[in-house]
Structure 1
Amino acid sequence: MALPPRPVNPPCPFRAMSPQRSGSAGWRAALALSAALAAAPLAGCGVFSAPEQLRGNRADAELLQQLTPGVSSKADVTAVLGSPSATSTFDDREWYYISAMSHTRPARVPAIENQRVVVVRFNDQGIVEGIVQKGEDQMRNVSAVERTTPVPGNDRSLLQALFGNIGRFGPTTTQETVPGANAGSGAPPR
């Protein structure tokens, strides 16, 4: 019985591990890993961004067309637009509908876009006199004042605040003695 001839180089089941291809496979794996790491920071740019949110009471153009100056009343405006975001400070003749679109950006403060203010003016009878729309280009930035109001008193350190009452008050007496009064009589002092 004759044995079959043995192959000189047996086939390797692990071609990727063979010495001829290990350099190119390692290069491909490193390239794929670096591409994945480079794309990771870009993942939050568009796909995972937060949706826009409406803030305030938006008075759209379609809703404003339903209101007619000289005809519509305050009840009509409330039925169409809802309650106002703010009213005039000293009288109830101007209603303000303030709105903005915002979206939260990753690791940042929310971005405000498309701010609008709709001013509805009424006459003395409560009928609409006019409707004015104001956009971002007509608004003014108002900066807050950074001053503080001084408080009367002295500035105390932390230790003074903690131990400030020690020794501040003297011993209290329950009964004062009046010169010339009889202490043993039990009569109240004068």
Structure 2
Amino acid sequence: MSKVSVSISNDFCPQTLFLYGTYKEDGTPNFGLFCWFSYIWDSELGVMACIGGEKLTKDRIHATGVFSANLVTEAILSLADYFGNTDGYGADKMDIPVETRKGAVLDVPILDASPLAFELEVAQSIPLHDGEVFLCKIRNVLANEELADDTKTIEERLQVIAPVRTTCRTYFSWDGKAMGKWGEPMRKVRSLDNE
């Protein structure tokens, strides 16, 4: 197959989505949607997370040095899209029904509806021109019990939770079907909020 040069982007390189959880100064949970997330090795498994631009999530990570990373699945995509497309500095962002709990090890909000969450402590940050990379220690991983069920195959367990991926500004289901452009799934959250 022949190759052609295309614009510089990460199109057609699907990425897993996470909701980063922090607490505002008043103790209210705040979540933001991010996909620049991967793993590092530094004597133990760690996480690298990049946040571009000015965001409340980044401000709160600077203030506390900790955050959670909650896996986004098909079941919570509308909520995740809402969190990713609603300004964190807005006073009413979290005025929606959402169940959270505190982390088991760190003082971070965990989204109950997410089947897997990392509790992360920043070990080092690397400021960039318009972004920042956080190198983090994984202090705890909280998972739904069904993910620890070794009687089921990994494939079966992944199919149950159905993680969402994104590329080309579009969300994709676990089986590769388009689930909407960025900003579309959140309409369900706002329509429920207005009822």
Which structure carries more relative contact order (alpha carbon 8 Å, separation 6+)?
A: 2
Structure (1/2) with the larger strand percentage: 2
Q: TM-score, normalised by structure 2?
A: 0.22
Q: TM-score, normalised by structure 1?
A: 0.22
